[in-house]
Amino acid sequence: MRLIQKNICINFIASLFTLSAIFSCGSENNKLPILGERDWVTKTVDGKEIVDTIYNVIPPFTFVNQDSDTITEKIVEGKIYVSDFFFTSCPTICPVMKRQMLKVFKEIKANPDVMIISHTIDPEHDTPQVLHKYAEDLGVEGKQWQFVTGPKDKIYEIGQKNYMSTAKEDKSAEGGYIHSGAFILVDKEKHVRGMYDGTTDEGTQKLLKDITTLLEEYKK
């Protein structure tokens, strides 16, 4: 049973890009689902056996940003954030994603409770200096949008395992890397609450709507 449930969830994640309908894994109406692999533990409370769900959580991280500052998960403490993966010399989907992310940036700019973290998947080339110039050329100032670099294996690991976003080197791909065009929405508890196609306007609009929905959760 557990296996089946897991499969349902995984299938459901896989079909997220095509189906933006109502989520079966979510428990309440108007509440965004918690995405990712789950585990269940059984424990005994007051003599009764209860099942606890362990959700996918973004683990602690240490990266370096466009201002050459070391940042950790503390930077998003008490905030919700949008995450993505890119590289500055990417000729294919990154410019499209960054144009969409600029729209997100403009929307959240007034709200200190929301951040953006863009991870480079080409850390050898994308040093903090390169990221700084990129942010500047994009017209992004301040700390709300972090462009981060770090050890390649750490970026790929967190990307694939926790943000559920493909990121790997592929010499045959244009630009040398393949990665998904996903924007990933993370809540204050570090749960992934939504994945969106960052290459389309529809995906971006859905993300903006869900950011509002997620912020509502914390108002209660």
Partner 1 sequence: MIRPAGALLVLGLLNDACQSSQELKSEQYFAEGYQLYTTYCSNCHQTDGKGMSGLYPPLVGSGQLTEKSRLACIIKNGMSDTIMVNGKEFSRPMPPNPKLKDLEIAEIVTYLNIKWGKDSVFTSIEFVEKSLKDCAPN
**Sites of contact with partner 1 (CB under 8 A):** 89, 91-93, 95-96, 98-99, 102, 134, 136-139, 174-175
DSSP labels, 179-216: E--EEEEE-TTSBEEEEEETTSHHHHHHHHHHHHHHHH
State the nearest-atom distance from the C-beta of 116 to partner 1, in Å.
Answer: 16
DSSP secondary structure letter of residue 123: T
Closer residue to partner 1, CB minimum distance, 89 or 213: 89
DSSP H helical ranges for 72-127: 93-108
> Any idea what the Cα angle at residue 195 is, between residues 70 and 23, rounded to 5°?
140
Closer residue to partner 1, CB minimum distance, 77 or 141: 141
Closer residue to partner 1, CB minimum distance, 174 or 189: 174
Return d(Cα 108, Cα 18) in angstroms, integer. 26
Closer residue to partner 1, CB minimum distance, 124 or 153: 124
Closer residue to partner 1, CB minimum distance, 47 or 91: 91
| Alpha-carbon torsion angle 75, 80, 84, 88, nearest 10 | -50
State the nearest-atom distance from the C-beta of 216 to partner 1, in Å.
Answer: 32
Cβ distance 77 to 113 under 8 Å? no
Closer residue to partner 1, CB minimum distance, 137 or 153: 137
Using only C-alpha atoms, the chain has a radius of gyration, in whole angstroms, of 18
State the nearest-atom distance from the C-beta of 81 to partner 1, in Å.
Answer: 22
State the nearest-atom distance from the C-beta of 171 to partner 1, in Å.
Answer: 15
State the nearest-atom distance from the C-beta of 69 to partner 1, in Å.
Answer: 22
State the nearest-atom distance from the C-beta of 199 to partner 1, in Å.
Answer: 10
Q: Give SS3 for 23.
A: coil
Q: Give SS3 for 169.
A: strand
